[in-house]
Structure 1
Amino acid sequence: MLIDGHGRTVDYLRVSVTERCNFRCQYCMPEKPFSWVPKEELLTYEELFEFIKVGIDEGIKKVRITGGEPLLREGLENFVEMISSYKNDIDLALTTNGFLLEHAAGKLKDAGLRRINISLDSLKEDVAAKIAQKNVLKKVLKGIETAHKVGLKIKINCVPMKGINDTELVDILNFCKEKGFPIRFIEYMENSHAKNTAKGLNSEEIQELIRKSYSFQKQEREGSSPSQNYKLDDGYVFGIIEPHKDDFCSTCNRIRLTASGVLIPCLYYEDSKSIKEAIKEGNIKKAAAILKEVLANKPEKNKWSSEDSNETSTRAFYETGG
């Protein structure tokens, strides 16, 4: 069992397979040039898998594959199959922007993928294009449709932004409600890589907009989920991820591994340690020791909840998958 320095059980590993992305979303990486990271700087799928096996053997129960945009890395279904074959009851999930999903969904499902989170920030082509700086909506919707057809469990993520998609939140909720997909609205997490004019909506503002169309009740938190859930009168449940509140961190069970082998204990902080050298040397014991060290130093909470300053993380979310 993996326990951090604050007594929290860590059983959830998020693995980024690439920092590359085919979107340039305003809240993430709008100014970053499109570029290729040299392959020699990345761990191979086989090397990533060696570390994942260590995590699973130590008690990891859930693995989520992220990016960047993970579908940009060739052969992703082979990586999925490695993990699912090693432990066929592992909770294996993927986060994607959905743009390339139409042609990948079936192969991923066959390889053992169970669940998929898809970003959907707008149902209007011009607004979606403004956010992603690319005409994306039709392909994203087709990807969602295909993933649903092949039997993947779908959850939708939406980042509400002031003056951009804030008038669409009920429409997006209704879309998910009609399709039977859970939705999580994610408070914008201030970071130095985002567009400097980006402004998000906090949980109270999101609730107020939804309350104009629906009445709902706050639900008890479910285990270590970062989502605060709310139930409509008809039983549909939507969630809000609220990093600006301390309870986002108090039950944190996550650790992150980047494609270049950096272990990240907290999404907010830059503190991290690399397992790349150990894995390249085949020194699994050393990699496991680094994992334990990183967990021992995992911060108690992020600083987005700080009330005495306007905190902005320097974390590059495109390296960690959020």
Structure 2
Amino acid sequence: MLIDGHGRKVDYLRVSVTERCNFRCQYCMPEKPFSWVPRENLLSYEDLFKFVKVSIDEGIRKVRITGGEPLLREGLENFVKMIADYKSDIDLALTTNAYLLPKAAQKLADAGLKRINVSLDSLNDEVAAKIAQKDVLKTVLKGIQAASDAGLKVKVNCVPMKGINDGELVEIMDFCKEKGYPIRYIEYMENQHAKDTAMGLNSEEIQAIIREKYNFKMIEREGSSPSQNYQLEDGYVFGIIEPHKDDFCATCNRIRLTASGVLIPCLYFEDAQSIKEAIQSNDIDKAAAILKDVLANKPEKNKWADEEGNETSSRAFYETGG
């Protein structure tokens, strides 16, 4: 069992397989040039898997593959199969923008993937194109349907932005209700790589918009989930992820590994250690020791939740998978 320095059980590993993305969303990386990260800077799937095995053996029970956009890395289904074959009951998931899912969904499901989280910030072609800086909506919707058809459980993430998609929040929820997908609205996380004019909605503003059509009540969180959940009168449950709230980090059970082998204890803080040398030299004991040291120094709270508040992260979310 993995326990951090504040007594929290850590059983969730997020693995970023690439920092590249085929979107340029306003709240993430709108100005970053399209580029290739040199292959030699990345851990191979085999080396990433070595660390995943270490983590599972130490107590990790949930693995989520992220990016950037993870489907941009060729052969991702092979990495999925490595993990699924090693521990068939692992909670194995993927976060994606769904643009490449039409051709990939069935291969991923066959390899052992169980769930996907999909970004869907608009159901309007022009608005979706404005956010992603690319004509994406039709292909994204095809990707979501392909995942569902392949038997993958689908959850939708939406980042509400003022003056952009804030008029669609109920429409997106209704789409998800009809399809049977849970939806989570994510408060915009301030970061230096986002568009200067990007402004998000906080939880109270999101709730006020939804309340214009629906009555709902707050319900308990699911385990260590970062989402505060709410239930409509018809039983449908939606969530809001509120990183600015003081209690957001209280049950944090996550740790993150980048494609280049950097192990990150907290999404916001810069503190991190590399496991690349240990893994590539097959020093598994050293990799396990680094894992435990990083956990021992995992901060109690992210800086969005501290007393000062409203800080801007220099962490590139496209490197860490959010």
The alignment's TM-score, normalised by the length of structure 1, stands at 0.99
> 2:290 matched to which residue of 1?
290
Q: Deviations over 1:22-51 (max 9, x none)?
A: 000000000100000010000000000000
> 2:253 matched to which residue of 1?
253
> 2:129 matched to which residue of 1?
129
> 1:70 matched to which residue of 2?
70
Kindly state the Cα deviation for residue 309 of structure 1 after the two structures are TM-superposed: 4.5
CA distance in 2, matches of 1:23, 1:221: 31
Kindly state the Cα deviation for residue 282 of structure 1 after the two structures are TM-superposed: 1.0
> Greater shift after overlay, 274-283 or 67-76?
274-283
Question: Which one-letter code corresponds to 1:66 in the other structure?
Answer: T
Output aligned runs, 1:93-242, within 5 Å: 93-242=93-242
User: What secondary structure is seen at the aligned counterpart in 1 of 2:319?
Assistant: helix
* Number of residue pairs matched by the alignment: 322
CA distance in 1, matches of 2:90, 2:256: 17
User: What secondary structure is seen at the aligned counterpart in 1 of 2:301?
Assistant: coil
> 1:311 matched to which residue of 2?
311
Aligned CA RMSD, in angstroms, stands at: 0.7
Kindly state the Cα deviation for residue 120 of structure 1 after the two structures are TM-superposed: 0.2
Question: Which one-letter code corresponds to 2:196 in the other structure?
Answer: N
Distance 1:144-1:309 versus aligned 2 partners, 3 A rule: closer
CA distance in 2, matches of 1:107, 1:181: 21
Q: Deviations over 1:84-122 (max 9, x none)?
A: 000000000000000000000000000000000000000
User: What secondary structure is seen at the aligned counterpart in 1 of 2:247?
Assistant: helix
Q: Deviations over 1:181-200 (max 9, x none)?
A: 00000000000110011000
User: What secondary structure is seen at the aligned counterpart in 1 of 2:300?
Assistant: coil
> 2:45 matched to which residue of 1?
45
User: What secondary structure is seen at the aligned counterpart in 2 of 1:248?
Assistant: coil
Q: Deviations over 1:273-314 (max 9, x none)?
A: 000111111111111111011000000011112353531111
Question: Where in structure 1 do 4 or more consecutive aligned residues deviate above 2 Å?
Answer: 305-310
> 1:5 matched to which residue of 2?
5
> 1:87 matched to which residue of 2?
87
User: What secondary structure is seen at the aligned counterpart in 2 of 1:23?
Assistant: coil
CA distance in 2, matches of 1:158, 1:37: 28
> 1:14 matched to which residue of 2?
14
Structure 2 residues without counterparts, runs of 5 or longer: none
Q: Deviations over 1:253-285 (max 9, x none)?
A: 000000000000000111100001111111111
> 2:55 matched to which residue of 1?
55
- Please tell me whether the aligned partners of residues 268 and 313 of structure 2 are also in contact (alpha carbons under 8 angstroms): yes
Kindly state the Cα deviation for residue 221 of structure 1 after the two structures are TM-superposed: 1.6
CA distance in 2, matches of 1:186, 1:11: 22
The alignment's TM-score, normalised by the length of structure 2, stands at 0.99
User: What secondary structure is seen at the aligned counterpart in 2 of 1:167?
Assistant: helix
Kindly state the Cα deviation for residue 224 of structure 1 after the two structures are TM-superposed: 0.4
User: What secondary structure is seen at the aligned counterpart in 2 of 1:263?
Assistant: strand
- Please tell me whether the aligned partners of residues 169 and 209 of structure 2 are also in contact (alpha carbons under 8 angstroms): yes
Kindly state the Cα deviation for residue 246 of structure 1 after the two structures are TM-superposed: 1.8
- Please tell me whether the aligned partners of residues 303 and 309 of structure 2 are also in contact (alpha carbons under 8 angstroms): no
User: What secondary structure is seen at the aligned counterpart in 2 of 1:246?
Assistant: coil
Kindly state the Cα deviation for residue 247 of structure 1 after the two structures are TM-superposed: 1.7
Question: Which one-letter code corresponds to 2:228 in the other structure?
Answer: Q
CA distance in 1, matches of 2:311, 2:107: 41
Question: Which one-letter code corresponds to 2:124 in the other structure?
Answer: K
Identity %: 79
